[in-house]
Each structure stands twice: as C-alpha cells, then as structure tokens.
Amino acid sequence: MNIIFQTWPWYVSGFLIGMIMLSLIYFGKTFGMSSNLRSLCSMTGLGKRVAFFDFDWKAQRWNLIVVLGAMMGGFVAVQFMSDPSNVAINTKTIAQLAQLGIDAPNGKLMPDALFGPAVFNSPKGILILLIGGVLIGFGTRYAGGCTSGHAISGLSNLQIPSLKAVIGFFIGGLIMAYLLFPLIF
C-alpha cells in the first residue's frame, strides 16, 4: 500500500507520462496542454473580435475532457493518496527558501507564502501569480507549446523547433530563478 502514498519515483512517473503521450497519439490526437488556453478563450466568443480565436474550438473538446480528467486526478491524488512524508526536497533548497521567507513543504505541494489563502489579501501576492500566469499564457502560445507539447511530444519526435523552445524555457527559467526571484522576495 506504501506505493500509493509515497512520492512516485521519477522512472515510474516519466514512463507513465511517455505512455500518456503515446496513448493520445494512438487515439489520433496529440499531447499538449497549453492549447486548451486558446480553446477556453475562444469559448467566450473572442473569435468575433480577434482572428486568432476564430477557429473550430469544438474540434478540441476532447482535449478539454483530458483537462477535466486531470483535474479529477489531481483531486483524488491530493485527497486520498497524500502523506506528510511527501515533497521531500533537498534540505539545501529548504534552507535557501527559509532565507527568502518561504515556508518548508512538510508534505505540502505548494508554499503558503505564495499560494496560501492569505495571498488573496496581498496585492503583491496576487500580482506575482497574475504576472506569472500572463507570462505562461503569452509564452506558450507564442512558442506554440509548453512542457507537454514541446518538451515531451516535440522532443520525442526529434523536432528541432521544440529543442529551441525547450532551451528557451530553461534560459527563461534560469533568469527568473537566479536574477529576478531574489529581487522579488
């Protein structure tokens, strides 16, 4: 029973993610999560004003169903498959975060300092999440994919454009982690 509650090892998780991508290919589809953001925008009728959203989002409904399933999976995993021993990150990382005033995981997936309920009363906290989201939405549509579409699907198919995008992801990530993050916190 331990396997249900402990952190799943990288080789099991990575293999399953690879199989998820291959299942979607077998269903005649592709694995990519960020394209759902475009579908969600189109559903609100934005297509009448902005050409980019004027496309047949209904043909992408299958992907929104994948999203719905993923949300249910997240709910089940957090509610019924969690354990206080989870998220055992490097102790060096924990010490580093403490210096920035960010709480240690102790089994939590997300730090309260950024995602706790208090964030709704903090203009700075809201702004950080909002700007992070804008960068994610803008960047993934500009690059035409995210971790699933480029890093997993694209690199698995040996696509050079995806390699460029993934290197871009990491350059951006390192700029944030080493240059900007210490300024923000």
Partner 1 sequence: MKVIKYLLVGFVFGIVLTKSEAVSWYRIYEMFQFQSFHMYGIIMTAIGTGIIGIQLIKRKNLKDIKGFVIEIEDKEEGSARYWIGGLFFGLGWALVGACPGPIFILLGAGFWSVGIVLFGALLGTYLYGVLKDKLPH
Query: Of 58 and 62, which CB lies nearer to partner 1 in the complex structure?
Result: 62
Size of the site for partner 1 (CB under 8 A): 123
Near partner 1 by CB under 8 A: residue from 56, 84, 85, 157 = 157
Reduced to 3 states, what is the DSSP secondary structure of residue 51? helix
Nearest to 169 by CA among 137, 148, 139, 138: 139
* Residue type at 102 in one-letter notation: I
Q: How far is the CB of 1 from partner 1 (least distance, A)?
A: 14
Q: Which of residues 83-122 bind partner 1 (CB under 8 A)?
A: 86-87, 89-90, 92-93, 96-97, 105, 109-111, 114-117, 119-120
Please tell me the distance from the alpha carbon of residue 146 to that of residue 165, in angstroms, as a whole number.
Answer: 8
Note whether 148 binds partner 1 by CB under 8 A.
Answer: yes
Q: Which of residues 52-81 bind partner 1 (CB under 8 A)?
A: 52-53, 62-63, 65-79, 81
Note whether 182 binds partner 1 by CB under 8 A.
Answer: no
Note whether 133 binds partner 1 by CB under 8 A.
Answer: yes
Please tell me the distance from the alpha carbon of residue 44 to that of residue 57, in angstroms, as a whole number.
Answer: 11
Q: How far is the CB of 59 from partner 1 (least distance, A)?
A: 13
Kind and range of the H or E run holding 60:
none
Q: How far is the CB of 117 from partner 1 (least distance, A)?
A: 7
Q: Which of residues 12-41 bind partner 1 (CB under 8 A)?
A: 12-28, 30, 33-34, 36-38, 40-41
* 51, 71 Cβ separation under 8 angstroms: no
Query: Of 101 and 117, which CB lies nearer to partner 1 in the complex structure?
Result: 117
- Per-residue burial over 96-135, b if 16 or more Cβ lie within 10 Å, else e, is ebeeeeeeebeeeeeeebeeeeebeeeeebeeeeeeeeee
